[in-house]
């Protein structure tokens, strides 16, 4: 079974609103990453948060990590049409493997 | 830099045929991996490599072989294609396995097995 699970599976919001998606994982990790995938394309790295960090920002992205709950959240503020994509969390459960979740499909409505 | 390149972009195989999906990177990355992406399943790790001559199995290795004779290349071989292997295949690389670094993905190969 997959290490990470994103929630919700799909999310539709109005342009300008904030989008929040969550990732839960099962085993201890070194780091957690978030990736974006536009339709039909390869994944693009967004942000990496290490297990000793609680929050990280990059532009309109804010990521939190709670290792006690084995969960992370990705917040996209002031959403734009270009943010329409699938978002994946990826974890490294301490054995050189990087495991992805099933993703959240985000749709920004005009 | 070309980054991570994959060939072919599209492929149709008949059941039982074999083929090799090519992956190359020009960033001198140690770590390379293959994923398959199916609807509703996200990305699943097939095989990965932490350096030339070293490979290991991921979550779904059955039916696939890999080798890493050079740092640059990491081909994925389908030994006897089955319809269940119809998927989009992504190759990825990152700087090192000794810490977690961002992965760079290729554009994908869309494989259909009939």
Residue at token pair 């996209």: A76
Interface size A-B, in CB pairs within 8 Å, comes to 65
A67-93 residue pLDDT tens: 999 999 999 999 999 999 999 999 987
Token pair of A9 as six digits = 């599976």
The pLDDT profile of chain B, 114 residues, written as one tens digit per residue, is: 789 999 999 999 999 999 999 999 999 999 999 999 998 778 999 999 999 999 999 999 999 999 999 999 999 999 999 999 999 999 999 998 777 788 999 999 999 999
A7-55 residue pLDDT tens: 899 999 999 999 999 999 988 888 999 999 998 889 999 999 999 999 9
Considering only CB atoms, which chain A residues are within 8 Å of B102? 33, 45, 48
Kindly report the nearest CA distance between residue B36 and chain A, in angstroms.
11
**For residue B91, what are the CA distances in angstroms to A8, B5, B66, B76, B102?**
26, 8, 12, 9, 13
Considering only CB atoms, which chain B residues are within 8 Å of A92? 100
- For residue A2, what is the nearest residue in chain B, using CA coordinates? B44
Please name which of A110, A95, A89, A85 lies closest in space to residue A7, comparing C-alpha atoms. Answer: A89
pLDDT exceeds 70 at position A2 = no
- Is the sign of the CA dihedral B19, B21, A96, B84 positive or negative? negative
A89 DSSP β-pair partners: A34
SS3 A67: coil
pLDDT exceeds 60 at position A1 = no
Kindly report the nearest CA distance between residue B91 and chain A, in angstroms.
9
Helix and strand element counts for chain A (H, E): 0, 11
Residue at token pair 């290795």: B61
Contact of A73 with A64, CB cutoff 8 Å: yes
Pairing of strands A61-66, A71-76: antiparallel
A90 touches chain B (CB under 8 A): yes
């Amino acid at each position: 079974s997959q290490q990470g699970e994103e929630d919700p599976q799909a999310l539709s919001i109005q342009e300008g609103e904030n989008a929040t998606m969550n990732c839960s994982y099962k085993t201890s990790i070194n780091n957690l990453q978030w990736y974006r995938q536009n339709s039909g394309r390869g994944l693009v790295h967004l942000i990496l948060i290490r297990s000793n960090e609680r929050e990280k920002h990059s532009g309109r992205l804010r990521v939190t990590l709670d290792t006690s709950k084995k969960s992370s959240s990705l917040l996209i503020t002031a959403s734009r049409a270009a943010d329409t994509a699938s978002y994946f969390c990826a974890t490294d459960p301490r054995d050189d493997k990087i495991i992805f979740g099933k993703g959240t499909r985000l749709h920004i409505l005009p | 830099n070309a980054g991570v390149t994959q060939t072919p972009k599209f492929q149709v195989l008949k059941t039982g045929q074999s083929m090799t999906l090519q992956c190359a990177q020009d960033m001198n990355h140690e770590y390379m991996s293959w994923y398959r992406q199916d609807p509703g399943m996200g990305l699943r790790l097939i095989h990965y490599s932490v350096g030339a001559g070293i490979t290991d199995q991921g979550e779904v290795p059955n039916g696939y072989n890999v080798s890493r004779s050079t740092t640059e290349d990491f081909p994925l071989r389908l030994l006897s294609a089955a319809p269940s292997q119809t998927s989009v295949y992504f190759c990825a690389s990152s700087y090192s396995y000794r810490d977690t670094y961002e992965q760079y993905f290729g554009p994908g190969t869309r494989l259909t097995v009939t």
